[in-house]
Structure 1
Amino acid sequence: MTISQQSRRQFLQGMAAAGAAGIVLPNTNRAMGYESPNERPVFATIGLRNQGWGITNKSFKFADFAALADVDENVLGENIEKADKAQKKRPDAYSDYRKVLDRKDIDAVMIATPDHWHTKISVEAMYAGKDVYCEKPLTLTIDEGKLIEKVVKETGRVFQVGTMQRSESGQRFLQAVALVKNGRIGTVKKVTCGIGGMSGSPVIPAVAVPKELDYDFWLGPAAEVPYRALPEMRKGYGGGVPLYSNCHYSFRNWHEYSGGKLTDWGAHHVDIACWALGATETGPSRIAPLEYTLPVEYKDGYPVVHDQYNTATKFKIQVDMPNDVEMIITSEGDNGILFEGTEGRFFVNRGKITGTPVEDLKENPLPEGAIEEVYGGPVSENHTANFIEAMHSRKQPISDVWSHNRMLEICHLSNIAMRLGRELKWDPAKREVVGDEQANSFLARENRKGFEINM
């Protein structure tokens, strides 16, 4: 059963009454689908490996999953069994996501495919009348972000980007944003985003495609290339797939499908930095690659070697942000964000928040409601709960496409600057590189024939 208009009105009336009384509603009461079995939204997940199952598993508490889709029949089958066990109801299985979008009973889709598929599925889902939760990084190019913004506005769909640091991680990041916004380090002068580096790869040979994988459909909008893999298997997170390949898990290390560490961890930490700086509606003026290592040779911004990983392994990038703030994005040092201002500094990551301004909170706490003010209301139980609350209110959630795309532009531009080997000047109003036609040619990418976006 889909969410009824009556329930939506009741939910909004309840929220309005609570706000008028100054009451913070318990987090567990605000995701309506979790409270009322007959009004639980109906979801489907497209792309199920690793993070796809992770966001699905977190969402059983709030929604019913009617369908799952994946191009790998082994991954699809395993997750159908897990979902059946978790929700005591077996979802339908699809190898083609378009069959999910055709279903009128599905309210929303969760998308956790490789990055190069995000925009096509997201746009088509919105035109099919679905609200969308899509994993980060949202796009492969800057122009894809503009297209998604246009379609969100045109269709009125609710769209949550999966940058979970805005809702989870023990509220450390919300506290960090509140510290900056409440002047606890004075005027911000510098912010350093440590996002870690990566290793290159050995030569990865072309081999036979695993029989369970529809590799052509996995490639989708990307160019047709041979399937590559070495026999050694990956352990731990991302296990069950080759350690080196141009497909499952390792797609992040290829510009054809993703953007390396810049769009993987950068999409998390640069996001929090921009949020704290109040730069979610604007962008940088200059992006300069101070130091960087590309694992293969490039010519005119494109790799000339096609059998090895090609995203940057090490880097130090300087970004000129509004109000004379210097942002450094680096592969060195501790993973996390260091904020430095005229009156102090502190560091935050998923495990800790440290520094004198944090210690001073014992004697001088943040004003009451400071965290809620950052979040825009009572903090949701998790990212899915916030998404469902937004589905009821028909307002955009905590991680909206506009703020996400603005910060992701920094990550995309950093990659372009390294690929071309020069600094870029950026016009945040026109959203284009100033005086550099070649660099601007990297803001978009044409989909492979047969995989154009259906609009």
Structure 2
Amino acid sequence: MTFSHQATRRSFLQGTAAAGSAAFLGASMSRAWAQSPNERPVFATIGLRNQGWGITAKSFKFADFAAMADVDANVLGENIEKASMRQSKKPDAYKDYRKVLDRKDIDAVMIATPDHWHTKIAVEAMYAGKDVYCEKPLTLTIAEGKLIEKVVEETGRVFQVGTMQRSESEQRFLLAVALVQNGRIGTVQKVTCGINGMESSPVIPVVPVPAELDWDFWLGPAPKVDYRALPEMREGYGGGVPLFSNCHYAFRNWHEYSGGKLTDWGAHHVDIACWALGATETGPSKITPIEFSLPVEYKDGNPLVHDQYNAATSFKIGVDMPNEVEMIITSEGDNGILFEGTKGRFFVNRGKITGKPVEDLQDNPLPEDAIEKVYGGPVSENHTANFIDSMKSRKQPISDVWSHNRMLEICHLSNIAMRLNRELEWDPKNREIVGDDLANSFLSREYRKGFEINM
């Protein structure tokens, strides 16, 4: 198995997918390389808390990890030790991800930093000749998505986005897509994505930065602000961090670093909805904030309070999709996706898929190859396996950047509509908001001096 470390700014590698489409490769390929030391790819993980370790742990079967990077010394040390117990060689530890990108022996990086770092690291990794697996949501802004697409084209790198519901082992979501695309609910009329709400916070005071954390580096491209936290600790998932802060775990509650539930769970369920609708190469025509609640006061789309969470706590967003399909994104009800059509309805989430069209499969099953047609081949063992198969074929994987960005545009626009408290008309061809200069100003962001993307 050959992996290329050489960046190619001027041309595609032969067979790489063109913009706006993706070529898929399933698990039918021989994985002898997974067991052969000379054939296994060499990986590094950048950003190790929670999901960073999660995607790393699922990848030891297929890859060897030569390095890991994190700006929190405790997180870095703990995960280096865990990794050393999962493979024969202890990975090298770095605070600065750029030292990882400088290494010529690393074939690919897995990025699981907070969202505001994704684009900078991903772009620089591709120009350093690395293939990339990056957690969702891929970007903090729509302009960042366009940039990543451009760099994938320029460099020919393989890029997997971490929307792993596309490779879910139970295949409920693949079955959902197959049901819709095989006409089992007739003409689709409405799809509802339930993605839960966010919590508000009390006033969070400025406190000393923990000794193990490089706060300035954690902020990176985001504006320079004080570190804030309350002493109460979070239990369970994300344990060992303050319950309320502007850093670890809680970063999703701040628009400076993420997009709340809209880009967290929304990046999963809106993705499956768009896939089922065949809307992965287009976008909505209108976004309407039907009802919502922001935890702090806003003016011209910017929060006026800076010591409390600012992402929407509850919402109901209407989205006008192609073919007159109505999409609703809501914080109410069960987490999952409800598909409704002229011949029936069904619901799917990570624990179940229910409804008469599902029950009818007992007497009227889908074609034997229905799931494989959705996936583009036999379903991979997991998301990493699909990524590495694609590294070998030099074809884009199941969660490609183009379909992800088209879906994520809906989530980003929903946040902008709430921040401005108005309906937005979207031009999916030119990928801009129609007749609204202020709204369009939120499609991009300025990077803090010293943390610009190195092109």
| TM-score above 0.5 | yes
| Residue equivalent to 1:270 | 270
Report the number of matched residues.
436
Q: How does 1:46-57 map to 2 (within 5 A)?
A: 46-57=46-57
Pairing 1:349-368 to 2, within 5 Å after superposition: 349-368=349-368
Mapped to 2, the partners of 1:87 and 1:399 lie a distance apart of: 27
Could you list the per-position Cα deviations for residues 152-211 of structure 1 after superposition, in whole angstroms to 9, with x for gaps in the alignment?
Answer: 000000000000000015100000000000000000000000000121000000000000
CA distance in 2 between counterparts of 1:355 and 1:34 reads: 39
User: Take 1:225 and 1:33, find their aligned partners in 2: how far apart are those partners?
Assistant: 46
Alignment correspondent of 2:186: 186
SS of the equivalent of 1:87 reads coil
Equivalent pair of 1:67/1:100 in contact (CA under 8 Å): yes
Name the counterpart of 1:207: 207
Spell out the pairing of 1:35-434 with structure 2 (5 A cutoff).
Answer: 35-434=35-434
3-state SS, counterpart of residue 192 of structure 1: strand
SS in 1 for 2:239: coil
- Would you say the 8 A contact 2:140–2:258 is kept in 1? yes
Alpha-carbon distance in 2 for matches of 1:73, 1:332: 39
Alpha-carbon distance in 2 for matches of 1:33, 1:421: 53
What is residue 13 of structure 2 aligned with on the other side? none
* Partner secondary structure for residue 310 of structure 1: coil
Structure 1 residues 50 and 25, CA gap change in structure 2 (3 angstroms): closer
Shift in Å, 1:256: 0.2
Contact kept, 8 Å, 2:27 with 2:389, in 1: the verdict is: no
SS of residue in 1 equivalent to 2:361 = helix
For 1:56 and 1:244, locate their aligned partners in 2 and report how far apart those are by CA, in whole Å: 27
Higher relative helix content: 1
Distance 1:3 1:199 in 2: 44
Q: What letter corresponds to residue 361 of structure 1 in structure 2?
A: L
Alpha-carbon offset, residue 33 of structure 1: 3.4
Report deviation, 1:3.
3.7
What is the TM-score normalised by the length of structure 2?
0.94
The whole-number CA distance in structure 2 between the counterparts of 1:33 and 1:4 is 16
Secondary structure of 1:38's counterpart equals coil
**CA-to-partner distance for each residue in 1:335-372, whole Å, 9 max, x for gaps?**
00000000000000000000000000000000010000
Question: Please, what TM-score do these two structures have when normalized by structure 1?
Answer: 0.94
Whole-angstrom distance in 1 between the partners of 2:193 and 2:210: 38
Which 4+ runs in 1 deviate beyond 3 A? 1-5, 24-27, 29-33
Contact 1:4 1:39 in 2 (8 A): no
Map Cα deviations across residues 38-78 of structure 1 (whole Å, 9 max, x no partner).
11000000000000000000000000000000000000000
**How far apart, in 1, do the equivalents of 2:318 and 2:118 lie?**
28
**Partner-residue secondary structure (3-state), 2:291:** strand
> How far apart are 1:35 and its partner, in Å?
3.3
Question: Is this contact kept in 1: 2:80–2:91, CA < 8 A?
Answer: yes
Distance of 1:356 and 1:285 partners within structure 2: 31
Would the aligned equivalents of 1:204 and 1:228 in 2 still touch at CA under 8 Å? Answer: yes
Q: Distance in 1 between matches of 2:169 and 2:355?
A: 18
Q: Distance in 2 between matches of 1:385 and 1:262?
A: 28
The whole-number CA distance in structure 2 between the counterparts of 1:4 and 1:147 is 22
Q: Which residue of 2 aligns with 1:19?
A: none
Distance 1:89 1:381 in 2: 25
Contact 2:27 2:385 in 1 (8 A): no
**Residue-by-residue CA offset, 1:387-416 (whole Å, 9 max, x unaligned):** 000000000000000000000000000000
Counterpart Cα distance in 1 of 2:27 and 2:416? 45
Instruction: Give yes or no for contact 1:3–1:39 (8 Å, CA) kept in 2.
Output: no
Measured in 2, the distance between the counterparts of 1:268 and 1:207 equals 34
2-structure distance, mates of 1:104, 1:25: 28
SS at match of 2:193: strand
In structure 2, distance between residues paired with 1:211 and 1:44: 25
Q: Distance in 1 between matches of 2:412 and 2:236?
A: 28
Q: Which runs of 5+ in 2 are unaligned?
A: 6-24
Call closer, same or farther: CA 1:344–1:112 in 2, change over 3 Å: same
Cα distance in 1, alignment partners of residues 421 and 33 from structure 2? 50
Q: Helix, strand or coil for the counterpart of 2:450? A: coil
Offset of 1:37 from its aligned partner?
2.1
Aligned to 1:17: none
User: Equivalent pairs: percent with the same residue?
Assistant: 84
**Cα distance in 2 for residues equivalent to 1:33 and 1:274:** 34
